[in-house]
Structure 1
Amino acid sequence: MFTSIIDKDCGLSDVEKFQHLRSCLKGPALDTVSSLEISSANYTIALDLLKRRFNNKRLIFQSHVTDILSLNRIESSSAVKLRSLSDTVNANIRTLQSLGSAEQIAGCIIVHSLLQKVDKATQANWEETTPMDTIPTCEQFIEFLDRRCQRLENVEHAMATYTPSTKSTPQI
């Protein structure tokens, strides 16, 4: 919304855009740019800093999937509770649709669910090896799992067959 209303407004100077930007930010986002003096040159720097820090498409996608999957079950019929559930689902689905295709959304839900089934070390390895700016596919996750299995099998085999050599003293 900021990009559409402020950033693309040719009638505003970069200093004015930067002032508007800072007035819209709070918390960690504001902390990211708070050390920058409001100037034309720093507006572009501020936008770049914010994009690098917060433009993690995969994390944004996963966050919305998590919001949907972690909704509590409604135990009794209540218009208020159903409306709240509906509003939450619709808001998250609309955001997901703005970020990716139906296939990407479905894939992300599957990957998200499968990640909950693996150990913490495998989860960390997945996070370290997957680009932040793309939404991973099921195929990428399956390929990752296959590579991870192969590496672990190799390590386990190496550990099972490794026997430390005994220290021997040279014979004279």
Structure 2
Amino acid sequence: MESQHERTEENYHDGCAELREMIARFTDIHMPLTGQTDIANFQLPVQHPKTVLPMFSGAFADWESFCDLFTAIVDAEPRCSAATKLQYLKMCLKDSAAEFVKNISITDANYKPTWEALKARYSNPRLCLRTDLSTLKHLPKIMKVTASELRTLVDKTLQVVRALENLGRPVATWDDWLVFITVQHLDKESRKSWETHLSTKDVVSNPTLEDQSDPNLFPSLKELMEFLESRIRALNMITPIANSDKGSAMVSKFSSSKAKSFYIETKTFF
């Protein structure tokens, strides 16, 4: 006769199987379960590559990039219901931004007003412009040139330029100013190399002030970026060699010291 323990264990396993089946049906029809894991492994209700959802804390400087990513990944996705989009939106917010939507219930009707309210609160083009220009102006100056320091300067400069383009600013006409600001952050040796590069170009092209339409007269941001990329590649090639030379010198010094010690010991022995 089947014991009470065996019947209880059988009922437990049957219940677990039924519960798993119900959860699977629910997530297929409605929306994924909430949780931190969903943010790192975002997946739409149908088969779709997993994507990391963007996060937003309420910092105005981060709003434009967050808005663009969330719009592309979630808001523009036709396979998600409005309630699902609202759930994902709340999952993506933290700190002051999360407080702003904390008491909003997840329903289809609440998604669009919530999303529009967020855009109205954090979309401040003039503030974004000021933040981007301030970021560019206050980039740290390179004191000792390395490939990684130059790479950081190039990447951050281009990041600000793209942000300004997204704001609709006429960045294409700002080359003189952007070149001037970027060069101010270079180390002394890189600035010297840049001016040498321009002087060499002047000798070859022989531009004149009378012909101010000559593209060789004033350097463009593109030219500066290409120069810095070339310098980064050169530094990346030189650094391993320098390290190798340093290592060889240490080995040579160690070998010389050992040889000298051996000579003294041998002389003493005889």
- After TM superposition, the score normalised by the length of structure 1 is 0.57
Identity of matched residues, %: 32
Q: How does 1:4-153 map to 2 (within 5 A)?
A: 4-102=72-170, 106=174
Shift of 1:104: 9.3
TM-score, scaled relative to structure 2:
0.37
8 Å CA contact retained: 2:132, 2:164: yes
Q: Distance in 2 between matches of 1:20 and 1:82?
A: 38
CA contact (8 A) 1:33 1:49 kept: no
Q: Secondary structure at the match of 1:34?
A: coil
* Alignment size in residue pairs: 107
Counterpart-to-counterpart distance in 2, 1:73 and 1:100 = 28
**Cα gap change, 1:21 to 1:105, in 2 (>3 Å):** farther
SS in 2 for 1:36: coil
The corresponding residue for 2:70 is 2
- TM-superposed CA distance for 1:83, in Å, is 1.0
Which structure is richer in relative contact order (CA contacts within 8 A, separation 6 or more)?
1
CA radius of gyration, larger in: 2
Alpha-carbon shift at residue 18 of structure 1 (Å):
0.4
- Pairwise CA distance, 1:103: 5.5
Contact 1:96 1:105 survives alignment (8 Å): no
Amino acid at match of 1:56: N
Could you tell me how far 1:36 is from its partner in structure 2?
0.7
Quote the offset at 1:93 in angstroms. Answer: 0.9
Per the TM alignment, residue 19 of structure 1 is displaced from its structure 2 partner at its CA by: 0.8
In structure 2, distance between residues paired with 1:32 and 1:42: 14
CA 1:90–1:103 in 2, change beyond 3 Å: closer, same or farther?
closer
| 1:89-112 Cα distance to aligned partner (Å, 9 max, x none) | 111111111211326985xx8xxx
Give the CA RMSD over aligned residues. Answer: 2.0
> AA paired with 2:123?
N
For residues 172 and 107 of structure 2, the distance between their equivalents in structure 1, rounded to whole angstroms, comes to: 40
| Unmatched segments (≥5 aa) in structure 2 | 1-68, 178-270
Query: For 2:109, what is the secondary structure of its paired residue?
Result: helix
d(CA) in 2 for partners of 1:34, 1:104:
42
2:161 alignment partner, SS class: helix
- In the alignment, residue 117 of structure 2 is paired with which amino acid? L
Q: Distance in 1 between matches of 2:173 and 2:136?
A: 12
